[in-house]
């Protein structure tokens, strides 16, 4: 079963004119210095960027290409970053179409995708067997965080289980702003990766379960620190699954007015130097949140915000999205190194972002090339500047 209208999808795919602009367009007026991070960092055959992916998708859909894991590779070697959509002059959204193709063709075997979905359904997260450990960080913040409340901090799997510093920082910042907030006793995965990799039926089941748990917490507002959770909870739950979700805000959206109104005061740090902002694809291109994090960074006394050559709608991706980090970890890290080099090119000391998934991959990318750039989550930065 699929939620996709196949005729509509084919009509959309037919909008591709095979122009190839989504490969490596360099167009200063629109801020592009290249388009597809996969094309740039892989062997670079046609199937490594959207033009070829669409041809493969069409051939798999109409039977010209046999539905095998090997033939479907290019459907998955894509971060769904949406940079191709940003530059495409035709009247359709190629990245969104590819996501739909993954769903329609999810009978094609793909061990990586299936394992992730299975783990999420079984363990409520894609990483570990014992999901309870994702709340361990709460013990280290120095104050109690209830499991119920009107403002819910939905930590996300990556912050909860891989980068708990971000979760701790968020808690500290919310506490400093005088916000009473809750963290679920046993938080589920939002299911983003299942949606992106085409396991939408499973994602729906997961979403219903997650929403039930959220509802039990009494949340009227959900704050998140993960761009993927944001897009999924805010957009996919309602638009795809018709679920009624409380208001969902990324912390950068939530904090901006608190900082501007003086409720949250930030002190100067001598340590902070030149900071650049990496736009997570799900926060920026997908939801249009570009200025809030920049405004926050500029509000930190002593910070010099510098922009990488590609930013906002044309920002190059970190390499981890769309399931690519699981599907081809080396490629994902190579893309991350490339993004780190963008930051190096402008002599940034710190690359800040607002997505633990980006942060995790960018850190690996920095290590891979021995870069001295510090990759930090914006919440970690803010928490260090609390007055």
Partner 1 sequence: MVDKKVITELSEIVGEEFVSTKQDILLAYSVSASMASDAVLPGAVVRPVDTEQVSKILQVAARYNIPVTPRSGGSSLQEEVIPEPDGLVIELMRLDKIKLHKELRSVTVGSGVTYGVLEKFLKEHDLFLPVYPESALVCTVAGNVAVNGAGPGSSHFGCTGELVLGVEIVLPDGKIITTGSEANPYSPGPFQRYSFGPDITGLFIGSLGSFGIITKVSMKVFKRHKYYDHNTFGFETHEQAEQFMVDVKQNDINGVFTSLYEGPVLELFMDMIGEELGVPKYEWPFRTVSMTIGRVREDMMRSDAELAKKLCEKHGGHVIGISQLPYQEWNGRLWFFVRACYVHGWHWRTLYHHQTPINAHRSVEEIRDVMEKYGFLGHTAGFASGHSSFNAYPHLYFDPQDPEDEQKIRDAHKELAKTLFKTGAVPFKLAPYWADAIEGMDNYMAFLELVKKTIDPKKLMNPRVLGGL
Contacts to partner 1 by CB under 8 A:
10-11, 14-15, 17-21, 23-30, 32-33, 43-47, 51-52, 55-56, 59, 64-66, 70-74, 87, 89-91
**CA pair distance 302, 4, nearest whole angstrom:** 50
Tell me the two tokens of residue 229.
């959770």
- Alpha carbons 120 and 200: distance in angstroms, whole number: 13
Closest distance of CB 366 from ligand SF4, Å: 20
Pairing mode, strands 32-33 and 26-27: antiparallel
Helix 111-123 × helix 200-216 angle, to 10°: 20
Token pair 């926060």 is found at 283
x/- letters, 167..186, toward ligand SF4 (CB under 6 A): --------------------
CB closer to partner 1 out of 44 and 329: 44
Residues in region 118-177 near ligand SF4 by CB under 6 A: none
The only residue of 18, 43, 111, 139 in contact with ligand SF4, by rule CB under 6 A: 18
Q: Which residue has the tokens 């929403």?
A: 211
372 binds, among ligand SF4, partner 1, none (CB under 5 to 8 A by kind): none
Q: Give the three-class secondary structure for 288.
A: coil
**Of residues 337-366, those binding ligand SF4 (CB under 6 A):** none
- Using CA atoms, how far apart are residues 79 and 309, in angstroms rounded to an integer? 20
Segment contacting ligand SF4 (CB under 6 A): 10-18, 272-280, 352-360, 372-380? 10-18
* Closest C-alpha among 58, 77, 68, 52 to residue 331: 77
Where are any strands of DSSP class E within 155-220?
Answer: 181-182
Report the nearest approach of ligand SF4 to the CB of residue 333 (Å).
Answer: 15
Q: With contacts defined by CB under 6 A, name the span among 49-57, 155-163, 244-252, 303-311 that binds ligand SF4.
A: 49-57
Whether the CB-CB separation of 318 and 353 falls below 8 Å is answered with yes
Binds 55: which of ligand SF4, partner 1, none (CB < 5-8 Å by kind): partner 1
Q: Which of partner 1, ligand SF4, none does residue 267 bind (CB under 5 to 8 Å by kind)?
A: none
The one of partner 1, ligand SF4, none whose footprint includes residue 37, by CB under 5 to 8 A per kind, is ligand SF4
Looking at the Cβ atoms of 191 and 198, the one nearer to partner 1 is 198
Query: What is the token pair recorded at 359?
Result: 């942060």
Q: Interface residues for ligand SF4 in 64-103 (CB under 6 A)?
A: 78-84, 88, 90, 94-95
The residue among 23 and 168 lying less far from ligand SF4, judged by its C-beta, is 23
Going by C-beta distance under 8 Å and a sequence separation of 6 or more, which residues neighbour residue 301? Answer: 266, 267, 268, 269, 385
Binds ligand SF4 by CB under 6 A, chosen from 32, 41, 47, 50: 50
Which C-beta is closer to partner 1: that of 30 or that of 265?
A: 30
Q: Which long-range contacts (CB under 8 A, 24 or more apart) does 97-101 make?
A: 97/9, 97/12, 97/13, 97/54, 97/57, 98/50, 98/53, 98/54, 98/57, 99/195, 99/196, 99/198, 99/322, 100/4, 100/9, 101/9, 101/13, 101/57, 101/60, 101/61, 101/75, 101/198
Q: Which one of ligand SF4, partner 1, none is in contact with 74 (Cβ closer than 5 to 8 A by kind)?
A: partner 1
Least separation in angstroms between CB 36 and partner 1: 12
Part of the chain binding ligand SF4 (CB under 6 A), chosen from 34-42, 120-128, 219-227, 365-373 = 34-42
SS3 at position 247: strand
197 near ligand SF4, judged by CB under 6 A: no
For binding to ligand SF4 (CB under 6 A), which residues are involved?
A: 16-22, 35-38, 49-51, 53-54, 78-84, 88, 90, 94-95, 317
């Amino acid at each position: 079963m699929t939620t996709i209208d196949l005729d509509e999808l084919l009509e959309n795919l037919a909008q591709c004119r095979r122009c190839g602009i989504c490969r490596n367009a360099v167009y200063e007026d629109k801020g592009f210095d290249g388009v597809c991070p996969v094309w740039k960092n892989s062997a670079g055959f046609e199937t490594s960027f959207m033009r070829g992916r669409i041809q493969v998708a069409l051939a798999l859909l109409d039977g010209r290409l046999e539905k095998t894991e090997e033939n479907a590779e290019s459907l998955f070697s894509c971060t769904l970053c949406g940079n191709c959509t940003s530059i495409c002059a035709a009247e359709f959204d190629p990245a969104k179409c590819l996501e739909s193709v993954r769903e329609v063709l999810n009978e094609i075997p793909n061990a990586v995708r299936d394992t992730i979905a299975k783990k999420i359904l079984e363990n409520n997260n894609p990483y570990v067997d014992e999901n309870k450990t994702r709340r361990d960080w709460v013990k280290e913040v120095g104050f109690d965080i209830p499991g119920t409340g009107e403002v819910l901090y939905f930590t996300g799997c990556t912050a909860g289980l891989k980068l708990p510093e971000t979760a701790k920082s968020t808690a500290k910042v919310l506490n400093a702003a005088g916000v009473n907030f809750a963290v679920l006793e046993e938080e589920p995965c939002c299911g983003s990766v299942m949606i992106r990799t085409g396991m939408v039926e499973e994602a729906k089941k997961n979403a219903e379960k997650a929403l039930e748990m959220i509802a039990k917490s009494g949340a009227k507002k959900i704050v998140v620190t993960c761009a993927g959770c944001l897009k999924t909870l805010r957009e996919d739950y309602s638009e795809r699954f018709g679920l009624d979700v409380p208001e969902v805000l990324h912390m950068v959206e939530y904090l901006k007015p608190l900082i501007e109104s003086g409720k949250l005061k930030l002190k100067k740090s001598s340590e902070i130097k030149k900071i650049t902002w990496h736009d997570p694809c799900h926060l920026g291109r997908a939801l249009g949140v570009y200025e809030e994090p920049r405004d926050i960074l500029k509000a930190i006394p002593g910070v010099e915000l510098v922009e990488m050559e590609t930013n906002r709608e044309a920002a190059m991706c970190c390499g981890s999205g769309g399931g690519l980090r699981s599907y081809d970890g080396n490629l994902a890290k190579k893309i991350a190194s490339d993004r780190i080099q963008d930051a190096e090119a402008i002599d940034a000391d710190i690359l800040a972002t607002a997505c633990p998934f980006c942060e995790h991959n960018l850190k690996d990318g920095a290590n891979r090339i021995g870069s001295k750039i510090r990759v930090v989550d914006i919440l970690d930065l803010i928490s260090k500047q609390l007055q």
